[in-house]
Amino acid sequence: MLTTVKFVPNAQRVPRPYPNRTISRTLGKIATINQNWTGPLPEPYDLWTVKIVSEVYHGIKRGCFIVDPIEHRSPDELTHLPVTMIDLEMRDGILFVRPKKDLHHLWILPKTHRKSLAQTYNAYAVVINLGGTYWF
C-alpha cells in the first residue's frame, strides 16, 4: 500500500545494527525505513510517498511500520484531505482512510483529524491508502 509520510530526525541514538537517522510518526505508529532499501534515503522533514512493506507487532500500538521510500515529494504538492471526502475501513486496529476520488494526488490528514479519528474509532494507526493492498 502507498501512503504519504513526513520524516523527522530519529532522536534515539542507541547503537543498533541498522540505525535509521530518520523515522516517521505520521501514521500514528512509528515508520522506519526497510533495512534492505538501497535507494536514496529521506532527509529530516522530507515528505515522501512510501510503500508499507510490513508491520512489526501487527495489531497493537507497539512496534513499527517498515516502509520503502518511493518518491520524494514537495510540500507544495501536499493537500490536506477534508474528512468529508474520505471512506473509512477499520481492520485490526488500523483505520484505513481512502480518498473518495483522485487517488493519485498527494493527500495527508491534518494531525488534529488523525488524532480525532484514532480516538473515535479506537485505532492505534490512521493510514491514508493512496493505492495498493495491505500486506495481509
Q: What DSSP assignment string belongs to 37-79?
A: --SPPPPTT-EEEEEEEEEETTTSSSSEEEEEEEEEE-GGG-E
Match 481492520 to its residue by C-alpha cell.
Answer: 91
* Contact present, 24 and 30 (Cβ < 8 Å): yes
**Residue 25: predicted pLDDT:** 84
* Contact present, 31 and 67 (Cβ < 8 Å): yes
Q: Quick one: pLDDT band at residue 19, thresholds 50, 70, 90?
A: low
Mean pLDDT of the chain: 83
Question: pLDDT tens for residues 81-99?
Answer: 777 888 888 888 888 888 8
**Residue 136: predicted pLDDT:** 41
Could you give the 3-state DSSP secondary structure of residue 30? coil
Query: Is the overall model pTM greater than 0.75, yes or no?
Result: yes
Q: In order of start, what are the domains of the chain with their CATH numbers?
A: 2-73 (2.40.50), 76-128 (no CATH)
